[in-house]
Amino acid sequence: MRFLLNVCLIVFVAVSAQADEKFADVQKEFEALAKKFGVSTKDVGIYATIGEGEELKTLLDVNGQKVMIPASISKVATASAVLASFPPGYKFKTQLLTSGDVKNGTLKGNLYLKGGGDPSFVSENMWFLVNAFTRAKIKKIEGDIIVDDSLFDKVRYDMSRQKERVDRAYDAPVGAMSFNWNSVNIFVRPNGAGNGADVSIDPENDYIRLVNKAKTISGSANKLLADRQEDKKFDGDVIHVGGSIGQGLKEVVVFKNITQPDLWAGYNLKSFLGQRGITLTGNIKNGVTPEKAELVAESESKAIEAIVADMNKFSNNYVAEMLTKNLGAVKKTKGASLADGVTVLNEHMQSLGVPADQYHLQSPSGLTRDNKMSSFAMWKVLQHLRNDFRVQPEFLTSLPIAGVDGTLKKRMKNSPAERWVRAKTGFLTGVVSLAGYAGLEDGRVVTFSFVYNGSTDETKIRSFFDNLLIYLVK
């Protein structure tokens, strides 16, 4: 038995020595790849280690303590703070409450839609609420639908975002009562060359007024335009769809954000109720739920770890801000702001021992140039998430997988790094970043943080980062 143990030990030492010999050349490989892809090393911040505990070794430290713009890898810090504040399985709640009496199936009072800060509240959740509401035997509401999103403040677009608004789903506003990512799906189908196109929205509701000016043309081109136009006499959003769609196409979908999350949710509730034969005589308004209102239906969100995955897999800025306001709501039961949540986020960073002079976080999503962080500071967060078993499984599952899904679906595909790298991506003009873990066949794990701030084409930077990881996992 002792002989076998000695043989195993010799083999393990030999394998480890061989692996370490390979990593002795990692600096040379880094320099060769930087030259190949035209990357100036002064524009790069890299910190990467292998192993753990007493076996922890630094593989690369290139400007590791240089403070740089991190872009969306900022969400790693956000995820860490969220997972520390909400235990696995935690769920946010959205409620329907009533005030007034019910007589012969008629509610003589208001119906309240109370938001609990659920970023994942979508059509399925609305149907669940409405189906539960039908069991109260109410067929008519002689009052208003009051949307209560008082858990958060009324700031829809925080100053920490880029100043320029982008009328797309990824730049959606936030609110404690939000619905379908605060975005609408616009479906366009051709209708024979020379005719108008068929345009519809999903879900159908009175909050969106659709003006269809799109045409069908021959061929397979897609030159559709969808623009929001202001109408002060209309409570919701007016969207004009123009341009053209080729008759050779089947269907094109355009995603647009909405501007008023509370009213958007309220009008959709009205639509869903109507589909169950429940009528409303009043209007859609915002307000606060009375303390004596009666709870009639409640919907729970996905588990917190699934919402963190929604944020990380596709770098969803809306989810990042919703979760951060929820961090603030832990200490503030009304009107929680993004700043309240960012305070909690920074307290969490301090608790991890991240050097205070190596990070500055204003935006939980990273959709700003004002966030600053060194590669070493990001590595500290990643190392905590790897070593703390209470959060490690949930965080690891939230990350995009190379060649498989999320923002890494098309990267490192059909390479030795496919499925061996799990990491968060980041991108702004002049900023490319990647931070996470690379697994090795011998069971060891590389924890890495790569950040680039410069003018080299971003596709070259991504290839540089990807090829460096491919080298590490071979």
Domain boundary among 260, 282, 301: 301
Backbone dihedral region of 89: left (phi > 0), alpha (psi from -120 to 50 degrees) or beta? left
One digit per residue, the tens of pLDDT, for the chain of length 474 reads 544 444 444 444 444 444 466 677 899 999 999 999 999 999 999 999 998 888 899 999 999 999 999 999 999 999 999 999 999 999 999 999 999 999 999 999 999 999 999 999 999 999 999 999 999 999 999 999 999 999 999 999 877 776 665 666 667 899 999 999 999 999 999 998 889 999 999 999 999 999 999 999 999 999 999 898 888 889 899 999 999 999 999 999 999 999 999 999 999 999 999 999 999 999 999 999 999 999 999 999 999 999 999 999 999 999 999 999 999 999 888 999 999 999 999 999 999 999 999 999 999 999 899 999 999 999 999 999 999 999 999 999 999 999 999 999 999 999 999 999 999 999 999 999 999 999 999 999 999 999 999 999 999 999 999 999 999 998
Same domain, 165 and 269: yes
- Name the nearest CA neighbour of 341 among 323, 359, 354: 323
For residues 161 and 54, state if they share a domain.
Answer: no
- Sheet of 445-453: strand order equals 57-62, 44-50, 445-453, 431-439, 421-428
How much is the pLDDT for 401?
98
321 and 246: one domain?
A: no
Quick one: 143 and 270 in the same domain?
A: yes
Do 333 and 276 reside in the same domain of the chain?
no
**Sign of the C-alpha dihedral, residues 16, 21, 23, 24?**
positive
By the 8 A CB rule, do 178 and 169 touch? no
Q: Which of 301, 327, 350 is the last residue of a domain?
A: 301
What SS3 string covers the chain? CHHHHHHHHHHHHHHHHHHHHHHCCHHHHHHHHHHHCCCCHHHEEEEEEECCHHHCEEEEEECCCCCECCHHHHHHHHHHHHHHHCCCCCCCEEEEEECCEEECCEEECCEEEECCCCCCCCHHHHHHHHHHHHCCCCCEECCCEEEECCCECCCCCCCCCCCCCCCCHHHCCCCCCCCHHHEEEEEEECCCCCCECEEEEECCCCCEEEEECCEEECCCCEEEEEEEECCCCCCCEEEEEEEEEECCCCCEEEEEECCCHHHHHHHHHHHHHHHCCCEECCCEEECCCCCCCEEEEEEECCCHHHHHHHHHHCCCHHHHHHHHHHHHHCCCCCCECHHHHHHHHHHHHHHCCCCHHHEECCCCCCCCCCCEECHHHHHHHHHHHHHCCCCHHHHHHHCCECCCCHHHCCCCCCCCCCCCEEEEEEEECCEEEEEEEEECCCCCEEEEEEEEECCCCHHHHHHHHHHHHHHHHC
How far is it, in rounded angstroms, from Cα 36 to Cα 31? 9
Residue 155 shares a structural domain with residue 202: yes
Residues 77 and 163 in one domain: no
What are the structure tokens assigned to 42, written together? 């002064």
Q: Please check whether residues 27 and 159 belong to one and the same domain.
A: no
pLDDT at residue 164, as a whole number: 60
User: What is the count of structural domains for the chain?
Assistant: 2
- Please indicate, yes or no, whether residues 431 and 361 belong to a single structural domain of this protein: yes
Q: Which domain holds residue 236?
A: 92-301
How far is CA 454 from each of CA 68, 138, 146, 432, 451, rounded to the nearest angstrom?
10, 61, 49, 9, 10
CATH of residue 280: 3.50.80.20
Last residue of one domain, picked from the residues 281, 301, 321: 301
CATH number reported for the structural domain that contains residue 415 in this entry: 3.40.710.10
* pTM summary value: 0.91
Do both 339 and 435 map to the same domain?
yes
Report residue 385 as tokens: 């998430």
**Which residues touch 138 (CB under 8 Å, ≥6 apart)?**
98, 102, 105, 106, 107, 278
Question: Do 20 and 64 fall within a single domain?
Answer: yes
Question: Are both 313 and 451 inside the same structural domain?
Answer: yes
- Cα gap 109→282, rounded to integer Å: 10
Q: How many CB atoms lie within 10 A of CB 18?
A: 10
